[in-house]
Amino acid sequence: MADRDNLAPMMRMNGLGNKILVIDMRGRNDKVTPKAAMRLDSDPDTAFDQIMALYDPREDAPDGWIDILNSDGSMAQTCGNGTRCVVEYLHAGDGRSHFDFRTIAGRLVADHFGDGRISVDMGPPEFAWEKIPLAGTPGDTTHIALPEPHEGDPALQRFSAASMGNPHAVFFVPRDVESYDILNFGPRYEHHKMFPERANISLAQVTSPSSLSLRTFERGAGLTLACGSGACAAAVTAARTGRTGRKVTVYLPAGALEIDWREEDGHVIMTGPAEREWAGSVDPETGDWTRAWLQP
């Protein structure tokens, strides 16, 4: 049973089916604990891909600091779909349309357009070997041979790497991404010795000069319906290797994201929807929770 004296507001949301819990920790001195995260994920009603824990504004974060927790209780550096959910949560509360947040990965600026679309400036990608980071002898991150790849398919033996504040390995495949058993090899690749901080593992199929289809096994969360930073990483690595232009539509299992890798400043702008499902309250120490209302 939740301790009603210690409850924080919680909103169950989704970004293209990516299951998000926004926990409003503003005005408090405590934190959402890994124990609470694992407790929430163990309940089918609150199982999630990421928790977005929103803390008080500060000088370098005018609209709040965001801690991002994975379903295994570990911390993530960034989550584009989750950021859109935080924007929708705050916009519904006071009608604001422009937001400036911080996470452990840096600044996140976002805009709510009022028509269901929300854009997030994910910042510039990082392609340097040691900053992604990758283990082994540094080399060209556009085409990397994976040592001990575990899989016989040549398409699953070479990848492009990028960081969007978190490490991504993108395997460009010649056929439908759904035809590959990513649930089988995804966990092994996530923990491959080449990825000292683990990695998000994505399969990307180029379907036109301006479109990709994508499936992602997310670090610390597993197979997901939509990974925003994964869509950004796939888009920039596709453009960087000459497979697409810099503006693409990325088709995910639950919908599409528009990705624009701007030439003028190198920033990656991700645009897509976010949806409120139901509101409740949670004990940020234990993860015990109650539900307040269901979205009609």
Q: What is the pTM of this model?
A: 0.88
Q: Which of 108, 134, 221, 227 is catalytic?
A: 227
The reply to whether 227 belongs to the active site is: yes
Q: Indicate if 243 and 264 belong to the same structural domain.
A: yes
Q: Per-residue pLDDT tens for 51-96? A: 999 999 999 999 999 999 998 899 988 888 999 999 999 999 999 9
Q: What is the pLDDT of residues 3-32, one digit of tens each?
A: 567 899 999 999 888 899 999 999 999 999
Give the model confidence (pLDDT) of 247-273 as tens digits. Answer: 999 999 989 999 999 999 999 999 999
Query: Based on the domain organization, do 163 and 258 belong to the same domain?
Result: yes
Give pLDDT tens digits for 135-146: 999 999 999 999
If asked whether residues 233 and 284 sit together in one domain, one would say no
Indicate if 143 and 162 belong to the same structural domain: yes
Q: Report the 3 state secondary structure along the chain.
A: CCCHHHCEEEEEEEECCEEEEEEECCCCCCCCCHHHHHHHHHCCCCCCCEEEEEECCECCECCCEEEEEECCCCEECCCHHHHHHHHHHHHHHHCCCEEEEEECCEEEEEEECCCCCEEEECCCCECCHHHCCCCCCCCCCCCEECCCCCCCCHHHCEEEEEECCCEEEEEECCCCHHHCCHHHHHHHHHCCCCCCCCCEEEEEEEEECCEEEEEEEECCCEEECCCHHHHHHHHHHHHHCCCCCCEEEEEECCEEEEEEECCCCCCEEEEECCEEEEEEEECCCCCCEEEEEECC
pLDDT tops 60 at residue 2: no
105: domain CATH number is 3.10.310.10
Residues 94 and 158 in one domain: no
> Is there a domain that residue 59 lies in?
yes
Do 88 and 50 lie in a common domain?
yes
Calculate the average pLDDT of the chain: 93
The rounded distance, in Å, linking the Cα atoms of 217 and 225 is 9
In a domain, residue 17? The reply is: yes
- Catalytic choice (21, 79, 105, 156): 79
Task: Reply yes or no on whether the pLDDT at 226 is more than 90.
Answer: no
Q: What is the mean pLDDT of residues 279-285?
A: 97
Q: Return the pLDDT at 80.
A: 87
Give yes or no: residues 180 and 46 share one domain: no
Residues 220 and 253 in one domain: yes
| Segment 162-217, tens digit of pLDDT | 999 899 999 999 999 999 999 999 999 999 999 999 999 999 999 999 999 999 99
Q: What is the pLDDT of residue 294?
A: 59
Q: With a cut of 80, say whether residue 296 has pLDDT above it.
A: no
232 is catalytic: no
Residues 198 and 248 in one domain: yes
**Is 106 within a domain?**
yes
Q: Do 175 and 137 lie in a common domain? A: yes
Q: Residue 93: inside a domain, yes or no? A: yes
Same domain, 85 and 98: yes
The domain total for the chain is 2
134 and 105 in a common domain: no
Q: Domain range holding 209?
A: 129-271
